[in-house]
């Protein structure tokens, strides 16, 4: 027979702060965080993003400063997202293949200045296209899978040659992970990791991100023919299995909090490194709640990040990374 009250008092271990720390089942540290950063052309530029209070676009010198800050705080990796000038956006997104484009220049600057901070780069065409889609579209507006995947391979190689440590395909095209892995191996880039956006849902939480990369208003139609239906869970497991079989080193679930069940199932099923992206809409809701006095910002930040760890995440991409690291004593 199991112990019963009063022999068992579960509150005993909660009575003191030291004891709560001692008995904590889940631990969150700055090393669990990846800091997404938005890049803009220029020098000495900081552009606050209205829909993401506290987040800015930075010119490359500012991105380098943020990476140095990440190193000081114990954050091991930053993720880069470019705001490509409108005049460089085309229907075919060819600026993604330019070795002198904004993100490649930022990668090289970071690896020169802060080589011990990891650099994760997004592979998709939406920051480079006039139509806002992640790939090439036909006359009916349908995103072409195989033709897009060929361009993504070139984009991944371009970023790897610039010095990217982790290639993160976010496009959700079928088969692109295997093609990118083969290309990286063929180019001798054996140690470049692939973090696949394996379960990326067609979500309503992405709006502020589109402001940040300058694609708000460009998107023609929606992304439901390639991003996942929020109703589906079993399909997420199939997506993850496919990406792992094709050579992904880790997988991502995006968004985060609305999909904690998917994170838990992926971790339980595959026992591989799983990451979550606490996306722009999630960040904005926390900031709005704190501004309205509906919750304590610091507590909300740490509690949500701890939830990802408890569900099985190895790490979290979050715009709160620097703030959380300071709270954690980084």
pLDDT of residue 216: 75
How confident is the model over 107-120, as pLDDT tens digits? 999 999 999 999 99
| Per-residue pLDDT at 129 exceeds 90 | yes
* Region 26-327: CATH code: 3.20.20.70
Distances (CA, A) of 237 to 11, 60, 131, 232: 38, 38, 30, 10
Give the span between the Cα atoms of 317 and 77, in whole angstroms: 9
Mean pLDDT of the chain: 96
Residue whose structure tokens are 């998917």: 262
- CB 311, CB 32: distance < 8 Å: no
Q: How far apart are the first and last CA of the chain?
A: 45
Instruction: Report residue 1's pLDDT band, with 50, 70 and 90 as the boundaries.
Output: low
Give the span between the Cα atoms of 111 and 161, in whole angstroms: 12
Instruction: Report residue 218's pLDDT band, with 50, 70 and 90 as the boundaries.
Output: confident
Instruction: Report residue 220's pLDDT band, with 50, 70 and 90 as the boundaries.
Output: confident
Q: How many CB atoms neighbour CB 86 within 10 A?
A: 9
Structure tokens of 113?
Answer: 């200045």
Q: Is 239 annotated as a binding residue?
A: yes
Parse the chain into domains and list their residue ranges.
26-327
Catalytic residues: 200, 254
Residue 293: φ, ψ to 5°: 75, 15
Residues 273-302 have a mean pLDDT of 97
| Per-residue pLDDT at 266 exceeds 60 | yes
pLDDT of residue 330: 56
Helices 234-245 and 260-270, packing angle to 10 deg: 50
| Per-residue pLDDT at 2 exceeds 70 | no
pLDDT of residue 210: 86
| Per-residue pLDDT at 248 exceeds 80 | yes
pLDDT of residue 94: 97
């Amino acid at each position: 027979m199991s112990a019963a009250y009063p022999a068992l008092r579960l509150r005993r271990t909660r009575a003191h702060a030291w004891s709560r720390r001692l008995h904590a089942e889940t631990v969150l540290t700055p090393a669990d965080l990846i800091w997404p950063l938005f890049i803009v052309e220029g020098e000495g530029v900081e552009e606050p993003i209205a829909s993401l209070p506290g987040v800015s676009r930075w010119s490359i010198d500012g991105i380098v400063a943020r990476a140095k800050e990440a190193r000081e705080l114990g954050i091991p990796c930053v993720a880069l997202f470019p705001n490509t000038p409108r005049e460089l956006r085309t229907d075919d997104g060819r600026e993604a293949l330019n070795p002198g484009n904004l993100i490649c220049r930022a990668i090289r600057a970071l690896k020169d200045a802060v080589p011990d901070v990891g650099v994760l780069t997004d592979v998709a065409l939406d920051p480079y296209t006039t139509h806002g889609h992640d790939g090439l579209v036909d006359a009916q507006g349908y995103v072409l899978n195989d033709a897009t995947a060929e361009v993504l391979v070139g984009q991944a190689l371009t970023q790897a040659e610039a010095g990217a440590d982790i290639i993160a395909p976010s496009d959700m095209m079928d088969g692109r992970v295997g093609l990118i892995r083969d290309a990286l191996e063929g180019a001798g880039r054996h140690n470049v990791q692939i973090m696949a956006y394996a379960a990326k849902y067609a979500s309503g939480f992405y709006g502020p991100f589109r402001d940040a990369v300058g694609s708000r208003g460009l998107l023609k139609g929606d992304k439901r023919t390639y991003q996942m239906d929020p109703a589906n869970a079993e399909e997420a497991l199939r997506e993850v299995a496919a990406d792992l079989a094709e050579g992904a080193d880790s997988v991502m679930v995006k968004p985060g909090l609305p999909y904690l069940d998917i994170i838990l199932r992926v971790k339980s099923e595959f026992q591989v490194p799983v990451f979550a992206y606490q996306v722009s809409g999630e960040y904005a809701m926390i900031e709005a709640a704190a501004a309205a006095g509906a919750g304590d910002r610091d507590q909300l930040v740490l509690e949500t990040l701890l939830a990802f760890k408890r569900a099985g995440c190895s790490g979290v991409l979050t715009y709160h990374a620097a703030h959380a690291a300071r709270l954690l004593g980084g």
